[in-house]
Structure 1
Amino acid sequence: MNVTPLVIALKTLTLVLGGVITYFAFKAYRRTGSPALRSLAVGFGVVTLGAILAGLADQVFTVNRDLVLVIESALTVIGFAAIAYSLYAE
């Protein structure tokens, strides 16, 4: 079974939804100046970026899949750390 089209579709949805969430979080930050919302926007942006970079590295640049997984996981951790921080920032 070839899962490549499914992976491409899911990565595309990740880009769209992550981009929308990042946009609205950043828009809310600009409106309020809240550092928490800035951290939230950065967090979602990094998670989205990680998913897209991993998809590009795997499909376009044919990077080793183990390395792709490490890159995506590392950016997900960094993004979630920023999101978690945003929940505690004032």
Structure 2
Amino acid sequence: MVDTATAILVLVRVLVLLLGVLITYYSLQAYRRTGTPYMRNATLGFGIITVGVFLEGVLFEFAGLDLAVVHIVESVAIGLGFLVLLHSLRQ
């Protein structure tokens, strides 16, 4: 049986994943409309962050990795995504 805290965590993570997918999608649409390199980079940055959120859930739920390890994986992906976004904004 799943406890309440775990159920809430899964729900919140799924919502964050869905938001990440939507942001990445709309960012891609903006890039296609404008064709500007900074929008391409923003799409890539948002995509990397979204993949990190997805990987954390998959690695924890299905691969059985330790919670600390999956948080590290997610944090690295978020950091890389933020670096790409920073580069995009500095252009």
TM, length-normalised to structure 2: 0.90
Write out aligned runs for 1:1-90 (5 A). 2-89=4-91
Question: Percent of pairs identical after alignment?
Answer: 34
Q: Within 1, Cα distance between the matches of 2:4 and 2:61?
A: 13
Per-residue CA deviation, residues 65-89 of structure 1 (Å, 9 max, x unaligned), is 1211110110000001111111112
- Cα RMSD between the aligned structures? 1.2
Show structure 1 runs of 4+ deviating over 6 A: none
Question: How many residues matched?
Answer: 89
For structure 2, the residue ranges without an aligned partner over 5 or more in a row are none
Structure 1: unaligned runs, 5 residues or longer: none
TM-score w.r.t. structure 1 length? 0.91
